[in-house]
Amino acid sequence: MEIKKVGVVGCGQMGNGIAQVCAQAGYAVVVSEINDELLKKGLAAIDAYLTRSVQKERITQQDKDNTLSRINGTTDNGDFGDCDFLIEAAVEDLDLKKKIFAEIDKICPEHTILATNTSCLSILSMAVATKRPDKVLGMHFFNPVPVMKLLEVVRTTATSEDTLDTGNDFGQSLGKTIVIAQDSPGFIVNRLMAPQILNAIRMLESGIATKEDIDTGMTLGLNYPMGPLALADLVGLDTLLFIVNSIHEELHDAQYAAPTMLKELVSAGLLGRKTGKGFYEYK
């Protein structure tokens, strides 16, 4: 199936990045938000990112102009009516996502593939809210989307081979390296990442080592580009807590149980880079 137009539901941190990379790859893009204020904020973030890229000579001014010309913002989901591929990037709320999928299913043509950017929620639960579960899959991008090279393509028990192949080809056209995962809690990356970060938090909580030494141990001892506590701050401690709680609820595996320190930081609103303080402080 030829993909000409891509829809993106949500123009937040993930949605605007997805819209940007799709437009940079040459696709016509329509991206939505629930109101004009959030839409303007998301589109401004795309403009700002591309402006920095021009300043750093990663792209030309013409590249930026061409990319922006391919992106149209909307607050009306009816504008997804001629999309060939649609990616939902709303907040991690399963009921909300199911509602979006049910609505989009009625708007998009029969051939349209519907994807979700969820990091840990059941994709099959969203698929069965539509009349095309065979055309639903996961497309889990990583933050920041324009920088991170990996894309998890996630299949459910209902996803057809044609849908999986199209999702794989589409992801590659965005310049991403694809890994295929089953619709299982946390997929591949978060299933691996979460216990490592939680163990680092437990070590800090127990006084085994300082946060700096824990992170240095990982960066210099295991050649990781970033330590687990710094990574938690980058991901967002509220996002991390949501991920591990979701996995733990499904698997009942103690390694995914959230440490008290993580829950307390989230309760205090200390969420990492996004708030200026988490395990570390940020200017």
**pLDDT (tens digit, 9 = 90+) per residue, 83-131?**
999 999 999 999 999 999 999 999 999 999 999 999 999 999 999 999 9
Pairing of strands 85-88, 113-116: parallel
Contacts of 38 (CB under 8 A, 6+ apart): 11, 12
Of the listed 16, 53, 140, 248, which one is catalytic?
140
Could you write out the DSSP letters of every residue in the chain?
Answer: ----EEEEE--SHHHHHHHHHHHHTT-EEEEE-SSHHHHHHHHHHHHHHHHHHHHTTSS-HHHHHHHHHTEEEES-GGGGTT-SEEEE---S-HHHHHHHHHHHHHHS-TT-EEEE--SSS-HHHHHTTSS-GGGEEEEEE-SSTTT--EEEEEE-TT--HHHHHHHHHHHHHTTPEEEEEES-TTTTHHHHHHHHHHHHHHHHHHTSS-HHHHHHHHHHHS--SS-HHHHHHHH-HHHHHHHHHHHHHHH--GGGSPPHHHHHHHHTT--BTTTTBSSSB--
Active-site residue flag, 33: no
In single-letter form, the type of residue at position 158 comes to: A
Confidence of residue 239 (pLDDT cuts 50, 70, 90): very high
Q: What is the pLDDT of residues 144-165, one digit of tens each?
A: 999 999 999 999 999 999 999 9
Is 72 considered catalytic here?
no
The structural architecture, per CATH, of the domain 5-182 is 3-Layer(aba) Sandwich (3.40)
pLDDT average, residue stretch 162-173: 98
The tokens for 167 are 């999702």
Average pLDDT over residues 253-258: 96
CB atoms within 10 A of CB 142: 18
Q: Nearest CA to 121 among 189, 184, 196?
A: 184
Is 190 among the residues known to form the active site?
Answer: yes
Q: Kindly state the average pLDDT of the residues 63-90.
A: 97
Among candidate residues 53, 77, 117, 119, the one labeled active-site is: 119
Note the pLDDT tens digit of each residue in 219-238.
999 999 999 999 999 999 99
Map tokens 């991920």 to a residue.
Answer: 243
pLDDT tens readout for residues 177-225 = 999 999 999 999 999 999 999 999 999 999 999 999 999 999 999 999 9
Q: Are 29 and 19 in contact (CB under 8 A)?
A: yes
Per the annotation, the verdict on 206 as an active-site residue is no
pLDDT of residue 283: 84
Q: What pTM value is reported for the model?
A: 0.93
Residue with tokens 């204020």: 37
Cα–Cα distance measured from residue 268 to residue 110, given in angstroms and rounded to the nearest whole number? 46
The pLDDT value recorded for residue 17 is 97
Tell me: pLDDT of 81 over 90. yes
Take residue 190 and report the two structure tokens written for it: 């978060």
To which residue do tokens 């994807």 refer?
A: 115
5-32: pLDDT as tens digits: 999 999 998 999 999 999 999 999 999 9
pLDDT, the chain, mean: 97
Write out the residue limits of the CATH 3.40.50.720 domain(s) in the chain.
5-182
pLDDT at 270 over 90: yes
**Where in the chain is CATH 1.10.1040.10?**
190-267
Mean pLDDT for 275-283 is: 96
- 88: exposed, middle or buried (C-beta count within 10 Å: 0-12, 13-18, 19+)? buried
Q: Which pLDDT belongs to residue 1?
A: 81
Question: Of these residues, 77, 190, 246, 248, which one is catalytic?
Answer: 190
**Residue in 16, 32, 33, 152 annotated catalytic:** 152
Q: Does domain 190-267 have CATH number 3.60.9.10?
A: no
